[in-house]
Chain A
Amino acid sequence: MAYPAGCKYTKEHEWISVIGLAGTVGITDYAQSSLGDIVFVELPKVGDAVEAGKIFGSVESVKAVSDLYSPVSGTVTAVNEDLKDAPEKVNADANNTWMLKLDLKDKAELDTLLSAADYEKFVSEETGH
């Protein structure tokens, strides 16, 4: 299971990639694998404010519903409308299926997030192997 080194990660299994102040957010391969077949992704609206560590939406698989936590604070600039009709894209390629784009409020918040290596270690501890 590979986690791109250019991204930062949350302990709630979201990834964020940042260029300048523009962030792109999705969920990790571990998250999609744990959830199983994803059937529903609920996202905020463009212009909504999101806050680091707070719920911004939810993702539902056949067997479970899971909240989405924003890695950073900011303003939503785009949501992935494709996921309305094709939420299974997240299962097929979680690393490259974005959910949300946002303008970061404070780049320093990124320092509180996990690196790819730290996230991989965190996941292996969480699963116990």
Chain B
Amino acid sequence: MSETTATLRKTALNAAHRAHKAKMVDFGGWDMPVEYSGLVSEHMAVRTGVGLFDVSHMGDIQFRGPGSLAAIQRLCMNDASKLAVGQAHYSAMLQPDGTFVDDVVVHKLSDNDYLIVINAGTREKDIQWVRKQVGHMPGVHISDYSDHYTQLAIQGPKAAETLAKLTDADLSTIKNYWFTWGKMCGLYNVMIARTGYTGEDGFEIYIPSDEPTSARVWNEVLGAGAEFGIVPCGLGSRNTLRLESAMALYGHEISDTINVFEAGLGRYAKLDLAAKGDFVGRDALVAVEDAGGPKRKLVGLEMIERGIGRDGYSVCTVGGEKIGEITSGSPAPFLKKNIALAYVPAQYAGIDEVVAVEIRGQLVKAKVVPTPFYKKPKKSL
């Protein structure tokens, strides 16, 4: 175990995590905290108060120059021409067959300047893909800034109040999926985005990745959130939070064998040629659409008998015939139900359809339910 540990990549906050007695795991080659005080208490802190995540393992690719928009449009399925400066959106880079290279968040920094945030486990593959697909296009300079930023996610209904104590930026003017730059913890021009992966209000901030700065800001956020019961949160609760919110995870709900329509993410694929233009994977998606839609679909399952469906478990008819597989499954700490996302043939994807999950040789009943499983309460005025 000590031999493999030596080769794991570390974020600038590795020592801070260990000081907080985090349980560390190998996550896609990264030595990352899976939990500190406990997965359930961290999950609940984000749903009811505020939690702090180190997500510095995420990658960042910047596009600069007058050809940036054209490159992003060629590379990603959403229509980046619709973005205003200071706005971000969910998108994805696709294989020519309409399956996923990775899902990304595209940020428009200025008219000729975009930042895309990519997954940790796919960083090298992504940057190679980007250079291969659009590196030759005129007027675009592509930089891999993944190691330049420490990325912190401050998430939960008390995230804004926590962050407001540390920055001069007016957070009330930042809408969901918009961002700004402000002074934070004495650092100038920190990018502050109202984004996240928890289904809760929250922010992701991008600060320099040197260890002293990273640790200082980490501790200042924990100090600012103390009155709201802030806790450091690991990848364990990050996973259960995103699962309750039915957000896709690369390698699970999306991969290079699953297409955009199967994953239920068609609303982010802009196929109107006149409006957006061509992009890698578009032809394949048009063909799927012409063929009447996908044959299998991602559905939400709720266990109705005792048992927990987990990643990779088979989904069967109640008679026991295998029809699909769970991509992510877990107890849902806030909802207090056992939930899962699974691929099943379209004829089994209707709400209230009863299926069975094979759990260690036993068929345990589950039903198809609407997603997201959890929706954050609307703010009352």
A residues with CB within 8 A of B: 34, 36-37, 39-40, 58, 60-63, 65, 126-128
Minimal beta-carbon separation of B31 from chain A (angstroms):
13
Interface assignment of B1: CB less than 8 Å from any CB of chain A: yes
Of chain B, the residue at the smallest CB distance from A67 is B360
A63 to B237, CA, bound (A): 9
**Known contacts A63-B236, A128-B5; is A36 also within 8 Å of B35 by CB?**
yes
Asked if B236 contacts A40 (CB within 8 A), the reply is no
A63 to B40, CA, bound (A): 10
Minimal beta-carbon separation of B131 from chain A (angstroms):
36
Asked if B308 contacts A39 (CB within 8 A), the reply is yes
Contacts of A37 in B (CB 8 A): 38-40, 333
Minimal beta-carbon separation of A94 from chain B (angstroms):
14
Contacts of B300 in A (CB 8 A): none
A11 to B119, CA, bound (A): 37
Asked if B39 contacts A36 (CB within 8 A), the reply is yes
Interface assignment of B310: CB less than 8 Å from any CB of chain A: yes
Of chain B, the residue at the smallest CB distance from A60 is B308
Asked if B34 contacts A63 (CB within 8 A), the reply is yes
Of chain A, the residue at the smallest CB distance from B4 is A128
Asked if A128 contacts B2 (CB within 8 A), the reply is yes
Minimal beta-carbon separation of A81 from chain B (angstroms):
14
Interface assignment of B331: CB less than 8 Å from any CB of chain A: yes
A65 to B364, CA, bound (A): 16
Minimal beta-carbon separation of A33 from chain B (angstroms):
8
Beyond A36-B23, A37-B39, list 14 extra A-B contacts (CB 8 Å).
Answer: A36-B35, A37-B333, A39-B308, A40-B306, A58-B360, A60-B308, A61-B39, A62-B40, A62-B236, A62-B240, A62-B330, A62-B333, A63-B39, A128-B5
Q: Ordered nearest first, which 8 A-B pairs have the shortest CB separation?
A: A128-B1, A37-B40, A128-B2, A39-B331, A62-B39, A62-B331, A36-B39, A63-B236
Q: A40: which of B38, B239, B308, B333 is its contact (CB, 8 Å)?
A: B308
Minimal beta-carbon separation of B94 from chain A (angstroms):
31
**Chain B 331-364 per-residue mask, 1 if CB under 8 angstroms from chain A, else 0:** 1010000000000000000000000000010000
A-B contact list, 8 entries, CB within 8 Å: A34-B23, A36-B23, A36-B35, A36-B39, A37-B38, A62-B40, A63-B39, A128-B2
Contacts of A62 in B (CB 8 A): 39-40, 236, 240, 330-331, 333
B residues with CB within 8 A of A: 1-2, 5, 23, 34-35, 38-40, 236, 239-240, 306, 308, 310, 330-331, 333, 360
Contacts of B1 in A (CB 8 A): 126-128
Of chain A, the residue at the smallest CB distance from B43 is A62
Minimal beta-carbon separation of A30 from chain B (angstroms):
12
A39 to B331, CA, bound (A): 8
Of chain A, the residue at the smallest CB distance from B3 is A128
A62 to B239, CA, bound (A): 11
A37 to B236, CA, bound (A): 11
Contacts of A126 in B (CB 8 A): 1
**Known contacts A39-B331, A128-B1, A128-B2; is A65 also within 8 Å of B39 by CB?**
no
A4 to B149, CA, bound (A): 47
Minimal beta-carbon separation of A71 from chain B (angstroms):
21
Q: A63: which of B306, B330, B360 is its contact (CB, 8 Å)?
A: B330
Contacts of B239 in A (CB 8 A): 63
Minimal beta-carbon separation of B24 from chain A (angstroms):
11
Contacts of B38 in A (CB 8 A): 36-37
Contacts of A40 in B (CB 8 A): 306, 308, 331
A40 to B308, CA, bound (A): 9
**Known contacts A36-B35, A37-B38, A58-B360; is A65 also within 8 Å of B308 by CB?**
yes
Of chain B, the residue at the smallest CB distance from A127 is B1
Of chain B, the residue at the smallest CB distance from A36 is B39
Of chain A, the residue at the smallest CB distance from B310 is A65
A90 to B39, CA, bound (A): 16
Contacts of B236 in A (CB 8 A): 36, 62-63
Q: Which of A34, A37, A60, A61 has the most CB of B within 10 A?
A: A37
Of chain B, the residue at the smallest CB distance from A64 is B310
Minimal beta-carbon separation of A85 from chain B (angstroms):
12
A128 to B330, CA, bound (A): 29
A40 to B306, CA, bound (A): 9
A61 to B331, CA, bound (A): 8
